[in-house]
Copies of this chain bind each other. A is one copy, B any other.
Amino acid sequence: MTLKFGVIGTGAIGREHIKRITDKLAGGKIVAVTDVNLDSAKQAVEQYSLDATIYEDDQALCQDENVDAVLVTSWGPAHEQNVLNAIEAGKYVFCEKPLATTAEGAMRIVQAEMKHGKKLVQVGFMRRYDPGYVQLKNAIDANEIGEPLMVRCVHRNPEVPETYGTEMAVVDTLVHEIDVLHWLINDDYKSVQVLYPKKTSRAHAGLKDPQIIILETKSGIIINAEVFVNCHYGYDIQCEVIGEDGVAYLPEPASLVTRKSAQLSQSIMTDWKVRFIDAYDVELQDFMDSIKQIGEPNGPTAWDGYIAAVTTDACVKAQNSGQKEDVALEEKPAFYDNKAAVN
């Protein structure tokens, strides 16, 4: 059985996912594409020699009977409507983050999905599929370090373009931690506070960098998250969970070790695209396999997309107020409780 995809948005990551499904993974096929820039859609079809219908808009694509699942890789602000259209058509949806740019938008998707009555949506938080995070999650769930009490994580980029502003540190960068951490520690966020250390001279005028975001969960776990996007030395993602019995660390990516020039060293990546490249494969393969095996996606849900949206909002508020701000999440609907048996 082949899962037939319609793709909305044939930009950078859209094409990467098209290539993945076409040339690397098993069981999927691109049968339809659209992009507000129709030329881009046509180029993509040509580039990957796709046997796919080109649609003028997302609604038409969603309605195509041949389409089993919709891949939303348009710009963030378009996601909400794209996803609602897909749900409307009763199609499975894999939506790149963010699910929606506002908490209300995300909630509208949650409600549309619940109304539809079956889980259709997976959000593209690929870190949950990274083998390192999976090991960390397994260790925590197996109680290997006891009850988690604190988390420390680091998100560092070598540099960012001029267009990258202070809020993006939360909205575009920290958002991956926001999703992966509550999943890791099985808890919900309660409040957030943002601190600004001395600014690096490498950050442009409008950007506060680094930032320290302190999240507290409902059970009292304190998360200390550093975002430092002009760290200069590399792309570096760290995460450690401190429990009652011990500490567990996200493993460093395996990389060549050398003894050279009076240094015993191991290389650090500089390109963020490489860091989770395998996770994108596993994520999409799991999306396809879960639909085939259990009839619904098994990854980050629309509810997780809602959590990310609400938390991101609170973080931005805390960035601006300098105060501790509430993360005001609604009660989780039972609909999102019964985790399917896979994974």
Q: Which A residues form the contact surface with B (CB < 8 A)? A: 22-27, 131-132, 135-136, 139, 144-150, 152, 195-202, 210, 212, 214, 219-222, 224, 226, 228, 231-234, 236, 242, 244-249, 251-270, 285, 289
* Beyond A22-B26, A234-B259, A251-B256, 15 extra complex contacts between A and B, CB < 8 Å: A135-B256, A144-B260, A145-B258, A146-B232, A148-B198, A150-B197, A233-B259, A233-B261, A233-B263, A234-B262, A245-B260, A262-B268, A262-B270, A264-B268, A265-B266
Cβ-closest chain B residue relative to A220: B198
Residue of A221, A234, A258 with most chain B CB atoms under a 10 A cut-off: A258
Compute how far the CA of A234 lies from the CA of B262 in the bound complex, rounded to whole angstroms: 5
Contact B247 A210 (CB under 8 A): no
Closest Cβ of chain B to A23, distance in Å, is 5
Chain B residues with CB under 8 A of A132: 254, 256
Chain B residues with CB under 8 A of A259: 233-234, 236, 246-247, 268
Residue of A135, A146, A233 with most chain B CB atoms under a 10 A cut-off: A233
Partner of A256, one of B25, B136, B149: B136
Chain B residues with CB under 8 A of A248: 256-258
CB contact under 8 A between A198 and B149, given known A233-B261, A247-B233, A254-B132: yes
Partner of A232, one of B245, B258, B269: B245
What is the copy number of this chain in the assembly? 4
CB contact under 8 A between A201 and B247, given known A210-B150, A234-B259, A262-B267: no
Q: What are 6 sample pairs from A and B whose C-beta atoms fall under 8 A apart?
A: A23-B26, A135-B256, A231-B246, A233-B245, A248-B256, A263-B267
CB contact under 8 A between A24 and B25, given known A226-B150, A257-B249: yes
Contact A144 B224 (CB under 8 A): no
Contact B267 A258 (CB under 8 A): no
Closest Cβ of chain B to A164, distance in Å, is 17
Chain B residues with CB under 8 A of A144: 258, 260
Chain B residues with CB under 8 A of A236: 259
Partner of A233, one of B150, B222, B260: B260
Cβ-closest chain B residue relative to A251: B254
Compute how far the CA of A221 lies from the CA of B247 in the bound complex, rounded to whole angstroms: 26
Contact B147 A201 (CB under 8 A): yes
Compute how far the CA of A23 lies from the CA of B286 in the bound complex, rounded to whole angstroms: 11
Contact B249 A258 (CB under 8 A): yes
Cβ-closest chain B residue relative to A264: B266
Contact A263 B262 (CB under 8 A): no
Compute how far the CA of A247 lies from the CA of B8 in the bound complex, rounded to whole angstroms: 41
Cβ-closest chain B residue relative to A29: B26
Contact B228 A246 (CB under 8 A): no
Closest Cβ of chain B to A305, distance in Å, is 27
CB contact under 8 A between A256 and B24, given known A149-B200, A197-B149: no
